[in-house]
Every structure is written in structure tokens, then in C-alpha cells.
Structure 1
Amino acid sequence: MTRPPAGSGGARRVRCRCGRTVLRQLVGRRAALDVTADADELTAAAAAELREPNRLDWCVRQRKSGPDLAWVDRRNHPAGCPRPHVIDHKCTAPPAAASRPRRTRTTSVPEGQLTLG
């Protein structure tokens, strides 16, 4: 699978199946995360309050190409960061319907015997 170079495109605005506008981006260079975050901008403090063990907050840097999500690392990210922040999206849409299982074909040929089609 081929991925675009890190930092080349930044976040793109897409609509989630629940109807909300979200930001999607592959964040990171080595072990990249496929991030889906709410597009609603928050302060750094407000985003930190919404953070949970499986719900991260992200710093939004504005680039020429648009918004770019950056990892909020407690050691290297300033506590009073003036840039907007966003939080991972929690989808409220009902789960997708399970696809119907495929029917298997039955043939009159014994198992292991080749057939000409």
C-alpha cells in the first residue's frame, strides 16, 4: 500500500456518516495514526478536559494547504498554546448493517475434480 509523504496534504474536511463535519488526516511519520477529529475548534484547555484514554486532542496548525493536525505531546507542547485544538470524533450514527453472507455454489462434480467452465 502506498501512502502520501508525511505532511504533504494535511487534514481534509469530510462528512461523517453521522452527518457531522470532521477532519481526517494520517498523522505521524513512522507509526502514523489515521485521525478522525471533530472540526469544532476548541482552546487547548477545553480540548484537554475532553481528553480520555482512547480520545486524544490535536493541535491545529494552519498551513498554506489548509489545517494540519499535530500530536499534543505533554513534554513538547506548550500548556497555553494559542492555536485551536480539536478532539477525536465520537460517531453517533447507528452501526453499519452487516452484509449478507455469500451463498456458496453447489456443483454436481465430486470435490477435488476440475470442471471446464
Structure 2
Amino acid sequence: MLRQLVGRLAALDVAADAEPMLAAEAAALRTEQRLDWCLRQTKHGAELQWADCRRRRTPCPHPHVIDHACTGPRVPVVPARSRRRPTPVPDGQLTL
């Protein structure tokens, strides 16, 4: 898994699968809740960038990755118990 802040002004904390794929494959997996990212090699190492290369006329030469989606079992959320004691008087009546 790759994890990085993507963007310069309002960065997103991205956790993406490390398996590189072609831009078209990543675009096919893209949903409203799961984005694809362009993976570029810089002198500092791998860097995730917005996949705005779809605007190009030629296919993007860089590999792409997709946001990570956990496949483990979901842990049920147990609602917290209320610790507030019931009032000794009926609702709407004030206590002194």
C-alpha cells in the first residue's frame, strides 16, 4: 500500500494499492468513492499525483494506482450506552 499527501494547497491523505496498472484499467475501477492516481517516479522516489492525464490525447505513459479498499470483515459498531441518569421528576417539570 502507498500512503502520501497528494496536492499542494489542500492535500488529500491518500492510501492506494501498490499494484501498478495501465491508466485505462485504473479508470475502469474508478468510482465516486474510489479514485485513481498517476504514479510517477521522481528523483525523490515514487510520487502520487492527480490522474488528470485523461485530458491528454495520447495514453499516459506512467503507471496508475487505485485507492485502497479494505476487504477484511467489517467490525460491527456497538452504540455507546447512555450514562445519564433518568430525572426523578416527569419531563417538563423543573427540579430545584
Which consecutive unaligned segments of at least 5 residues does structure 1 have?
1-21, 102-117
Q: How many Å apart are 1:66 and its aligned residue? A: 1.4
**Paired position in structure 2 for 1:56:** 35
Q: Quickly say closer, same or farther: Cα 1:93–1:29, change in 2 above 3 A.
A: same
**Paired position in structure 2 for 1:42:** 21
8 Å Cα contact 1:38-1:88 kept in structure 2: yes
8 Å Cα contact 1:44-1:79 kept in structure 2: no
Query: Match for 1:70 among 3, 24, 49?
Result: 49
**Paired position in structure 2 for 1:86:** 65
Farther-moved stretch of structure 1 (51-60 vs 78-87): 78-87
8 Å Cα contact 2:53-2:60 kept in structure 1: no
What is the aligned-residue RMSD (CA, Å)? 2.3
- 1:24-35 aligned at under 5 Å gives the runs 24-35=3-14
Which consecutive unaligned segments of at least 5 residues does structure 2 have?
81-96
What SS does the aligned partner of 1:69 have?
A: strand
Letter in 1 for 2:61: P
Which is higher, the Rg of structure 1 or of structure 2? 2
CA distance in 1, matches of 2:51, 2:6: 11
CA distance in 1, matches of 2:57, 2:18: 22
Residue identity over aligned pairs, in percent, reads 58
Paired residues, number? 80
Q: How many Å apart are 1:78 and its aligned residue? A: 5.5
CA distance in 1, matches of 2:58, 2:21: 14
Tell me the TM-score normalised to structure 2 length.
0.70
